[in-house]
Structure formats: C-alpha cells, structure tokens
C-alpha cells in the first residue's frame, strides 16, 4: 500500500450510499487499507444516475466514483453462513469498521456492535445513523435532503424565508462522514493508551446541527430565529454577491479597516450614520447593498476584481463546476487526480482535500468495480491466518 499516516490500518467498510463511504474514503486517502463489503447487487450508488460512463455491460455511476476512491471491493451475502464467516475473518484482522445500517439491521444478522467487539475487542466501530441511534426517533431512516430539512439547514438557505432550499450537495451525508472520520482518529489515538476499541457514533442530524455555528447561537443565546437571507451575510455588511456591469462579484468586507478602504475607493458615504459600523450597516443592509451595486454598475467584473484585489478586499467570482476543475489553483492543490480504472481506463476524479508535509500518499486507487477484489482479499485472509504469519506478526 502507498504510504500515509494510517498505513497498516485495515478498515472494513460495511456502509453504502454516502455518509459512511465518505468517511471510509477519507481513511483510505490517509493510507488505510479499505475493504468495501458490498451485497451481490452492490452499493446503492452504483445505480444512481445518470450520468453513467463506460462501455455497455461495464458502466459505472459517476456518483459511486465520487466517494469510493482508495478502496477494494468484495461481495458478500451476509444471510449465508459462508459469507458471514468471511466477514468475521475480516473483522478479526480489522482496526476499524464503518456501518450505517438502520438501527436493528445488524442485530438481525447476528452481527451487532457488541458481537463485533467480542470478535475483536480492539475494533473501532463507526456507526452513522440518520437521527441518532437512540431517542424517540432513533430508528428513522436518514436521507440527506430529509435531514437538511429536519435539522433546520433548509430554513436558513435560499433567497427568502418562504423558499426553503437544500444545499447543492448532500452536505448532511458529507459532514457526518467527516465528523465520523474525525471520531475514528480520536478513538484510534485513545486505543494506543488503553488497547481497547470503542464505538463512535454520529448522525446526519448531529452533523448538521454541529455546523449551525452563529445561526445556532442566534437562537440559543439571543432568542432570534434565523431565516434565509439569500446571498448576503446576516451579521456582516457588505458581505455577499453584488451585481456589476456585466455580471456579479463577491466581496467580504469583514473589518472596519477594510470598510474604510473600500468605501473611500468607491465613493460611498463612509461616516454616514447608517454606514458607520458593521451593526449599523447590517441594520440598513438594503441601503448598503443598493449603494454598493450603484457604485459597481460602471465596472465590468474582471476590472472590478482587479481593483478589489489591489485594495486588499477579499473578493471573487462565481465559477461553474467545469471552471473550478480547469482552474490552475485547483490543479496545483492536487484537488484533481488521475487514476487507472479497471474498466474505464485513465480517469480524472476529485482528490483528497488534505495535504501533509510528510507521509503522504503519492498514488491513489480508482474506485473499485463490484467484487473486483473478491479473490485477492480472500487470499490475503488465508495468508494472514497461517501459523507462520500469525506467529511472526508484531503485537498490535
């Protein structure tokens, strides 16, 4: 395996769809060996599309490709004794298990979290649910858009309060995966002291509430119920998307010193009462927005962005997805990687968002075809279980 800080760790990924697979992919990015256990029909996302790419009979979902790099795939029918025994063999040699089954499913398969720990007490088990594993609604199925609505995110996203809008990616799933991977890292660190694994739990509900940030404390501390505010900030002004002569630019005037420079450069009434401080500008945001857009109306976007950059005002354009991946800055940050897929050939996919100064993976594995590693994973288990390997393996 390619080097990385988690090299030597074995992750058994029992999850499907997005939250769990994203967490497991993050571990794979850091060098862990991730073995994705799929049913004979495969992860649900293998059928989510279009778009699908590849030759007839070997097409792949681009959705699946987005969240399963750096993994191997083995197919198991956990309702059969033979395949259940194979999973138990995997658990015996694993460091981490990732699962996002509905509450009770693993129990019915005689593979409860308690059972997994009895098989391997050092296991760190990441369990991701929709709304939590317990409580009055702990058994609810969790899909991202439902969770975005239930956890309040849609109420503060969109142009107006009466048009709740989902975020353009499954952000609840992705955040649950990120929080889950962070919890696993903490549990693995704790295992170094105690020698024991533990269960790490998170949910789509918890992950979204966890990023409420200032919108949460607006209610819990100040008693204000936040609502959607379009493309402008609720606590800083001017901060948002502004129309100019040929399109839009974004600016973030988050400090009084920036406001002084910005307002003087564009002839805005710097010291007028309603413009004098951030709280005053927020209270009179419509007047500020109108004044800024009037000042911008004589400038084309590229010229305006050059001026703003020279002034030191944080600013930018709104790029389409294709523009992002063609942007030199994206590429130089290794956010686009080339991998060799067994049926698609050489493809480009989004890369890991974390870079390390040392012990970084230098190459990445393409997302696997369904069951691509059935033989190699079983062969590895056979080798691991010989007396010679067992006796010579260092203590963990």
pLDDT 10s digits, 236-288: 999 999 999 999 999 999 999 999 999 999 999 988 889 999 999 999 999 99
What is the pLDDT confidence band of residue 2, given thresholds at 50, 70 and 90?
low
Residue 303 pLDDT more than 50? yes
* Mean per-residue pLDDT over the chain, rounded: 94
pLDDT for the residue 396: 55
pTM for this predicted structure: 0.92
Residue 95 pLDDT more than 80? yes
Residue 206 pLDDT more than 60? yes
What's the rounded Cα separation, in Å, for the pair 14 and 101?
A: 8
- b/e map 285-305, b = 16+ CB within 10 Å: beebbebbeebbeebebeebb
> What is the average pLDDT across 21-50?
97
> What is the average pLDDT across 40-53?
95
Tell me which DSSP letter residue 366 carries: P
What's the rounded Cα separation, in Å, for the pair 365 and 335?
A: 15
Beta bridge partners, 324, equal none
Ordered domains of the chain (ranges, CATH): 10-211+327-392 (3.40.50.10540), 239-319 (3.30.1540.10)
What's the rounded Cα separation, in Å, for the pair 63 and 45?
A: 6
Cβ–Cβ < 8 Å for 261, 311 = yes
The DSSP string of 257-296 is HHHHHHHHHTT--TTSGGGSSHHHHHHTHHHHHHHHHHHH
CB burial of residue 332 (10 Å; 0-12, 13-18, 19+): exposed
pLDDT for the residue 58: 85
Candidates 95, 115, 113; CA nearest to 103 is 113
pLDDT for the residue 390: 54
Catalytic residues, by residue number, are 173
Residue 71 pLDDT more than 70? yes
What is the number of other CB atoms lying within 10 angstroms of the CB of residue 27? 28
pLDDT for the residue 359: 85
């Amino acid at each position: 395996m390619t080097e990385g800080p988690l090299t030597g760790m074995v992750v058994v990924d029992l999850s499907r769809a997005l939250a769990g697979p994203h967490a497991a992919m993050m571990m794979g990015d850091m060098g862990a060996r991730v073995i994705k256990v799929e049913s004979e029909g495969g992860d649900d996302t293998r059928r989510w599309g279009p778009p699908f790419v590849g030759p007839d009979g070997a097409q792949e979902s681009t959705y699946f490709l987005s969240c399963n790099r750096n993994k191997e795939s083995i197919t198991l029918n956990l309702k059969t004794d033979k395949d259940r025994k194979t999973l138990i063999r995997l658990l015996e040699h694993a460091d981490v298990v990732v699962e996002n089954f509905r509450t009770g499913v693993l129990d019915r398969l005689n593979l409860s979290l308690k059972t997994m720990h009895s098989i391997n007490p050092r296991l760190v088990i990441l369990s991701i649910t929709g709304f939590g594993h317990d409580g009055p609604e702990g058994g609810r199925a969790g899909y991202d858009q439902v969770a975005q609505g239930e956890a309040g995110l849609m109420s503060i996203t969109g142009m107006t309060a009466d048009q709740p809008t989902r975020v353009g990616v499954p952000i609840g799933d992705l955040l649950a995966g990120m929080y889950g991977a962070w919890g696993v890292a903490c549990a693995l660190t704790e295992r170094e002291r105690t020698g024991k694994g533990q269960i790490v739990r998170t949910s789509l509900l918890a992950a979204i509430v966890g990023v409420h940030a200032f919108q949460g404390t607006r209610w819990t501390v100040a008693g204000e119920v936040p609502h959607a505010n379009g493309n402008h900030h609720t606590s800083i002004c001017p901060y948002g998307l502004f129309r100019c002569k040929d399109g839009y630019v974004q600016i973030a005037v988050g400090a009084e010193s920036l406001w002084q420079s910005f307002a003087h450069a564009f002839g805005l009434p710097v010291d007028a009462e309603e413009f004098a401080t951030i709280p005053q500008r927020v209270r009179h945001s419509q007047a500020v927005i109108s004044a800024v857009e009037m000042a911008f109306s004589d400038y084309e976007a590229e010229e305006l962005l050059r001026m703003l950059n020279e002034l030191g005002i944080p600013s930018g354009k709104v790029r389409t997805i294709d523009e992002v991946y063609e942007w030199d800055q994206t590429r130089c940050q290794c956010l686009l990687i080339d991998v060799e897929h067994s049926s698609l050939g050489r493809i480009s996919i989004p890369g890991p968002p974390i870079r390390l100064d040392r012990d970084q993976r230098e190459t990445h594995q393409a997302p696997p075809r369904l069951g691509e590693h059935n033989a190699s994973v079983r062969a590895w288990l056979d080798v691991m279980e010989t007396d010679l390997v067992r006796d010579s393996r260092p203590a963990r």
